[in-house]
Each structure stands twice: as structure tokens, then as C-alpha cells.
Amino acid sequence: MDIFEKCKRFTKAAELIETGNYPYFKPLSGNDGPRVEMDGRSVIMIGSNNYLGLTLDPRVIEASKKATQKYGTSCSGSRFMNGTLDLHLELEEKLAKFMNRETALIFSTGFLANLGAISALAGKDDYILVDRSDHASIYAGTQTASGATIKRYRHNDMDHLERIISNLDKAKGKLIVSDGVFSMEGDIVNLKRMTEIANKYGARIYIDEAHGLGVLGEHGRGACEYLGLEDQVDLVMGTFSKSLGSIGGFVAGSQEVIHYIKHSAQALMFTAAPMPAATAAAIKALDIIEKEPERMKRLNYISSFMHNSLENIGFDIGHSNHSPIIPLYIRDDEKTMYFWKGLFDAGVFTNAVVSPGVPSDQAMIRTSYMSVHSDQDLQKALEIIQNIGKEINII
């Protein structure tokens, strides 16, 4: 059989494009943060992970420009060989201090950070235990881990996790990996129970704070800080493409563990180093987060307001709590596409999540919010969401 035969048989996307219900790869022709230009008109953006609105902050943009002028557009090599800049070391030092860890290591993307760290740490004599709703980059790391045994537990179900881990070989290493804030569901890891299980069975804990960084905790360190359990977590990971308004990722932990990852992670050693512009942008964004806590306070207010409003209107938002990620569960692929199209036509951009990304009975509209959203835009978005929801009999 021709390996390209599957490409000919793939018609689902083309059918959606033809009917005008295709929600993906929509180009932006302008970006003002909470509003973007699409199809020649301004629409309210409630589908972005730019939680603190820093991608358009003049100070972040200026830092990015200066770094490009000084270092050029690319490092032209991996961190391991010729691509490490003093800027990279500066960011790693700042991240370690901010996350209250001994040291940190940055990667070119958040995906590569999870891929690199997890695959470096786990081998043939180890188990990796992952939440079924963990991010795809975590699963990529487990699949690349040479010979490690992968065990999946039901979403945030600590009883199921304990049943699995209690039957594993006590002599083998165990790494529990979970999102801190789950990227689709918007709920928070049950970390208290997880730490009790990890201590009981001799496991280590790795938490992905991609959607918690700059969002949760007194200082914005994420779910671990918010839950008061930072000292019980061995490794934390984060990205720059959400609250830090840039692109890249990192892992932070003890000196010896990060040193090992630094010399073992193929996703670091064989990938070009983070761009100077992206690195400088992340440094400046981190400074702003530390000096302007009012951004996070505003985001937390908006998150709470939208949770309550969407629930009161009658939407099923699942177990989303305390985060700016709020799913609207439609639980039907076709209705989800119709709902997305109705919202977009009325001036609101969201994210349609359908199978195979999630099971059909978990199909949803994923909404997410920014500290820079105005009250007026939020009220307008709510009005449109309610009207379209009623129009197509979702509420």
C-alpha cells in the first residue's frame, strides 16, 4: 500500500471547510490582545492563553527588539554546543529564583521541555504514571522514554492512581506526571492526595505549570504554590507562551536533577537554542509579573466572574475552578461546530475541541480569559454566548 493513501482518505477537514464550519488555522491580520482582526473585522478573543496580556506590552516588545539588535535573529546552534547566550543563563537564574527552586533549564518550546525532561529521566527500569488528561507534550515524553513502563490513571482520580501504583514493582523508579492546571478542563490537580501517595510508595512528582504560572498562587508560581505544596513537588515545568508573552519552556528543580537533564535530554542537545528575542521577552515579562501583582488579581477577578456567569446562564463547565480556562461542554461534535460558527459569526472567537482530540461525549468550546479584557467586552461576549446557546438549544 502507498503510504500516502491515508492522506487521500482524510476528508473530514475538507468537508468542514466546504460547509464554513472549519474552526482551525484561522489567520489573524491584527492583534490588540482582547480583540483581534479576523476576516476583515474585529472580534472578541476569548480563546487565547495570553493570560496577563504581556504579548503586546511595550516593555516586552522593546526588550525583544534590543536583544535582536545585539545578538541577531537566531543562536544558530544548540544550547549544548555553540548556542548558549548569557541571556539564557540570566533567564534560568531568574526562573529558579522566581519558582523558589535551586536551578532551572530553558528549552526552545514548552513541548520540548516536557519531551526532553521526561524522556531523559525515565528508562527501562522505571514507571511513569500519567493523568489521562495530561498535555500531549507529556505523552510525547513518555513515548520517547527508552523502555519505561507507562501507566495511565483516570483524570484527577487519586484512588485509581493509588490502585495502580500499589501493584507496581517496589524496586523500580516511579515518576508521577500531571498538569497543575489542566489545559482543556481548567481544573486543578488533586496535589494533596498525590503527594501522600507519592510519599507512601516512594515516587517522585513532576508538575506541568504551563497554565498555572502567572495565574495561581500568591506570587504566581502556579498550582503548587496555590495549594501550599511546593516543597512536596520534585520538578516543575512551565512555558513562556502563556503568561510570559513569549515562546519557550523550562524545568526547575534540584541542581543534580537539572544537571542530569541538561546532559541527557535530546530535545535540548539537538535543537537550536531559544531565540534571543524570545529569551529577552520572557525576562522582561517575568520582571513585570513580579512588580505588577495587580495583573494577576484582575485575571483572578475575571476568572471568577466568568465562571459564575456562565454557570448561572446554564452552561455545563465541568470541574473548572479558579483558572481562566472555562470549558463549555456541548458533548456532541456536530453541535460544537455549529456553536463555534455561531459565536464566530456574531463576533466572538473561541476554540472548538472535538474528537479525536477528546471523546465525542467530551466535545467542548474551550474559552480562556486575559487580565486585559474590559468589562464591556466580557458582558458582550456573555450576551452572544447566551444568545447562540439558546438559538441552537444548548441551554
HEC profile for 315-373? CCCCCCCCCCEEEEECCCHHHHHHHHHHHHHHCEECEEECCCCCCHHHCEEEEECCCCC
Q: Say if residue 58 is preceded by a cis peptide, omega within 30 of 0.
A: no
> Could you confirm whether 242 is annotated as catalytic?
yes
> Can you read off the three cell numbers belonging to residue 167?
501493584
Active-site choice (88, 135, 174, 242) = 242
Is 211 considered catalytic here?
A: yes
178 tagged catalytic: no
Place of cell 531565540: 275
What is the rounded CA–CA span in Å between residue 189 and residue 84?
Answer: 34
Q: Tell how far CA 296 is from the center of its chain.
A: 17
Residue 211 CA to its chain's centroid (Å): 5
CA distance 353 to 375: 26
- Exposed/middle/buried for 359, CB within 10 Å: 0-12, 13-18, 19+? exposed
379 and 310 Cβ atoms separated by less than 8 Å: no
Q: What angle do CA 228, 223, 361 make, to 5 degrees?
A: 135
The catalytic position among 174, 211, 262, 373 is 211
Q: Which residues pair with residue 270 across a beta bridge? A: none
Point out the residues that are catalytic: 183, 211, 242
